[in-house]
């Protein structure tokens, strides 16, 4: 396999000129309107453009995995964005299977966030956290980035209903045999990017994962 690095991006922040920025909505979430122009691949600059940004910031998520018992842990909860949706293989239910997730607060590291969220949403204190990746969720319209982890631990006694009543959370923990999950990976039940990315990573790397730090092999990055 070639070790040649992928070429860096053609432009950087200095190649964007922000003419104006205003908050057009601020409720549970925030929306900004940005006036800008940027450099063109063929040379020169665009005309002034108006774009709306859904301001979310950084989120953190983790797939729960028990390598000794070959179990995968997910959460099920209501998502308003999936209300009345039926497209292709997607479920028509707005209750989705997801990974544990939360938003980064001021001065919090991604690791601190996910350790807190694992307790709040699943009652799990992991033995070990493995980093997976970081990515933009939908950069055409939001500034949100998502940092993904794999949380290792014994899932035989993980379950129940969790969440913060103050945030109206009603979260059910689902623990499934890994074979059942991987056999149904693309049948529509795991229908959001973070969950699919985590499960695909786990499918490729699970043979090198162990709870015992002394036995831990480096997961494949190929």
| Per-residue pLDDT tens over the stretch 54-85 | 999 899 999 999 999 999 999 999 988 888 66
Q: Which residues pair with 61 in a beta bridge?
A: 101, 148
* Catalytic option among 22, 47, 167, 222: 167
Residue 143, classified by CB atoms within 10 Å of its CB into exposed (0-12), middle (13-18) or buried (19+), is: middle
180: left (phi over 0), alpha (psi -120 to 50) or beta: alpha
How far is it, in rounded angstroms, from Cα 197 to Cα 192?
Answer: 9
Task: Give the model's pLDDT for residue 202.
Answer: 97
Residue 45 has pLDDT above 60, yes or no: yes
Predicted TM-score of the model (pTM): 0.86
| Dihedral of alpha carbons 179, 180, 183, 188, sign | negative
Residue 222 has pLDDT above 50, yes or no: no
Give the pLDDT mean for 78-102: 79
Residue 221 has pLDDT above 70, yes or no: no
Residue 108 falls in the annotated catalytic set = no
Alpha-carbon distances of 211 from 69, 70, 71, 175, 221, rounded to whole Å: 11, 12, 13, 17, 19
Q: Which residues pair with 55 in a beta bridge?
A: 30
Residue 97 has pLDDT above 80, yes or no: yes
Note the pLDDT tens digit of each residue in 128-183. Answer: 999 999 999 999 999 999 999 999 999 999 999 998 888 888 999 999 999 999 99
Task: Give the model's pLDDT for residue 219.
Answer: 41
- Give the pLDDT band of residue 210 (cuts 50, 70, 90): confident
Residue 72, token pair as written in the block: 């995968």
Give the pLDDT mean for 20-43: 94
Between 169 and 216, name the one with better pLDDT: 169
How far is it, in rounded angstroms, from Cα 138 to Cα 119?
Answer: 28
State the alpha helices, DSSP H only, in the chain.
Answer: 110-122, 178-183, 193-205
Give the pLDDT mean for 42-61: 95
């Amino acid at each position: 396999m070639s070790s040649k690095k992928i070429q860096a991006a053609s432009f950087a922040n200095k190649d964007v000129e922000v003419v104006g920025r205003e908050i057009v909505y601020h409720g549970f979430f925030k929306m900004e309107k940005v006036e800008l122009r940027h450099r063109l691949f063929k040379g020169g600059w665009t005309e002034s453009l108006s774009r709306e940004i859904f301001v979310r910031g950084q989120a953190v998520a983790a797939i729960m995995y028990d390598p000794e018992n070959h179990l995968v842990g997910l959460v099920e909860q209501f998502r308003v964005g999936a209300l009345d949706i039926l497209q292709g293989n997607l479920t028509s239910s707005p209750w989705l299977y997801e990974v544990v997730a939360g938003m980064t607060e001021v001065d919090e590291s991604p690791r601190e966030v996910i350790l807190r969220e694992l307790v709040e949403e699943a009652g799990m204190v992991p033995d070990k956290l493995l980093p997976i990746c970081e990515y933009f969720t939908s950069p055409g319209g939001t500034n949100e980035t998502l940092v993904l982890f794999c949380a290792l631990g014994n899932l035989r006694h993980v379950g129940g209903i969790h969440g913060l009543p103050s945030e109206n959370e009603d979260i059910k923990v689902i623990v499934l045999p890994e074979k059942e999950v991987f056999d149904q990976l693309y049948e529509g039940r795991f229908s959001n990017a973070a969950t699919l990315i985590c499960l695909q990573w786990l499918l490729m790397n699970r043979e090198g994962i162990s709870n015992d730090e002394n036995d831990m092999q480096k997961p494949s990055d190929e």
